[in-house]
Amino acid sequence: MNKAVNSLIPPEFFSARFISFIVLLVLGIYLMTLYPMTKLVTGLTDPFYSPTLLILPLIGLFRLTCYAYRKDYHRHLFNHPVACSIGFRGEFKGRSYTGETRFFRVENLHRWFMYFSVAILPFFYYDIAISIIRYPGYNYVISLGTILLVINTILVTVYTLSCHAIRHLVGGNIDCYSCQHSIRGKIFRGQSRINRHHETYAWLSLSMFFLVDLFIRSVAVWHFLNPVLLHW
Amino acid sequence: MDKINLKIYRKDPSVDEKEHYDTFEVPYVDGMVVLDAVRYVEENLDTTLAIRWNCKAAKCGSCSAEINGFPRLMCKTRIDKVGFNITVNPMGAFPLIKDLVTDVTGNWDILRKIPPFTPKELGPDQHFSMKQEDVERSKEFRQCIECFLCQDVCHVVREHYTDYFGPRHIVKAASLDMHPMDTIDRSTFLNKEGGLGYCNITKCCQEVCPEHIVITDNAIIQEKERAVDLTYDPLAMLIKGRRKKEKRVV
């Protein structure tokens, strides 16, 4: 019985560090959704009361199964290992470890979440367009929200397109570029250039994601204003 | 003149039950590397010290050790970079022979398990010339000097008793897999027999590689993605199935 449970739930999930992380995450989400229902305010779509919330688990799974985040949480949540230096890595012989062979085999489904994430990218651009044309009282507006949405969208696009799964599909799965795939070889080399900084984009876009959503939520409950910067 | 305080791991498994550390004072000369200091000890202070080294040019991969707890080549680690208090340990992932010398024979046994290079058969009037853009990809992996620092730092190899081959051997398999003339796909073999699933992408191997091979991104993740093509992604399986089989999966 114990063995069966161990094969389903990795031992890392019982570590104090991981449990405290989950408690804080749940508390944070709960506090953010306490506010009353609002949909579109000053051209910005409230992420907590729109279909965005429904797709959030898939976006979350795309990030959770991403190679950049895998490195970070295996290191910093599970100490497998926390650092490379011997003696400071929090790793020792005899400690239970299954890697990505049992529960974490689910990380191999990253490809599926990547397909989904690419499919929803246009909606980020749609949100920018809405923020320009749906500001009450004006025809077209560039607001602070628009600027933040543009930065957020660029970061999410670069993060998604620099993904390792995309790197594989655009040319990583080919061995002979000169045979008949020279264009894919060029795309592969170009994508590899942004892929090198995938982890940076991952954290930048995630931080921006939180900041922008927090900004919109604040505007929605009138804790913050969305000033008009340009209009015509 | 500056002095280096050098603390060296000592143990002869045929005689000693426990390890101990000997401390030596070595005179510092500008531009010195850790190997110079260890050789000074071997030649002048304690001739019973066992070390392994060969080229002193970071190309033979013999002088791997753990310097101040970090796996490095002794010949490539400058004293002025690591400070004047230095502790040198042998590689902890391998059985000890004596002092700083470890037995890396197990790696050759793993290398023998990897399906060898299997080129396409060409007719008598056919020839294959490799273009530069194809050379570059597998050339990176062929820069490996087999110092086994990546194997030493890998927590799966070092701390967990799994059947994972280790980064060096995934790099070897990737160098064969990504050769334009090769006809074998080794990703399924690596996933099943090589324990590729045990790697959790923590990139320590990439951090310690003295040849700066991008081990995780260019070899391990690429092999993992190839395994996903064949096992987890029905869309890729469908497309690959429709295409003429170019590679034999082992």
Residue A32: the pLDDT is 64
ipTM of the complex: 0.87
CA distance A26 to chain B (A): 26
CATH fold of the domain at B106-249: Fumarate Reductase Iron-sulfur Protein; Chain B, domain 2 (1.10.1060)
Per-domain residue ranges of chain A: 2-162+197-231
- Alpha helix stretches (DSSP H) within B55-166: 79-82, 105-113, 132-142, 149-153, 155-159
Name the residue among B162, B178, B204 with its Cβ closest to that of A175.
Answer: B178
CB contact, 8 Å: B48 with chain A?
Answer: no
Looking at the DSSP bridge assignments, the partners of residue B231 are: none
Per-residue model confidence as pLDDT tens digits over A163-222: 999 999 999 989 888 888 789 999 999 999 999 999 999 999 999 998 998 898 888 877
Residues of B (8-47) whose Cβ lies below 8 Å from A: none
Residues of B (84-103) whose Cβ lies below 8 Å from A: 89, 92
Fill in the amino acid letter for A140: Y
pTM score, two decimals?
0.87
Per-residue model confidence as pLDDT tens digits over B122-177: 888 888 888 888 888 888 999 999 999 999 999 999 999 788 999 999 999 999 99
User: Are A177 and B232 in contact (CB < 8 Å)?
Assistant: no
Chain A nearest-CA residue for B239: A169
Per-domain residue ranges of chain B: 3-102, 106-249
User: Are A164 and B225 in contact (CB < 8 Å)?
Assistant: yes
Name the residue among B69, B221, B227 with its Cβ closest to that of A87.
Answer: B69
The distance of Cα B105 from the centroid of its chain, to the nearest Å, equals 13
Query: Of A173-177, A221-225, B88-92, which one has max mean pLDDT?
Result: B88-92
Closest C-alpha to B170, from B153, B192, B186: B186
CB contact, 8 Å: B139 with chain A?
Answer: no
Q: Which residues of A touch B166 (CB under 8 A)?
A: none
**3-class secondary structure per residue, chain A:** CHHHHHHHCCHHHHCHHHHHHHHHHHHHHHHHCCCCCCCEECCEECHHHCCHHHHHHHHHHHHHCCHHHHHHHHHHCCCCCCCCCCCCCCCCCCCCCCCCCCHHHHHHHHHHHHHHHHHHHHHHHHHHHHHHHCCCCCCCEEEHHHHHHHHHHHHHHHHHHCCHHHHHHHHHCCCCHHHHCHHHHHHHHHHHHHHCCHHHHHHHHHHHHHHHHHHHHHHHCCCCCCCEEEEC
B3-102: in CATH 3.40.50.11260: no
Looking at the DSSP bridge assignments, the partners of residue B73 are: B64
The distance of Cα B235 from the centroid of its chain, to the nearest Å, equals 35
CA distance B1 to chain A (A): 31
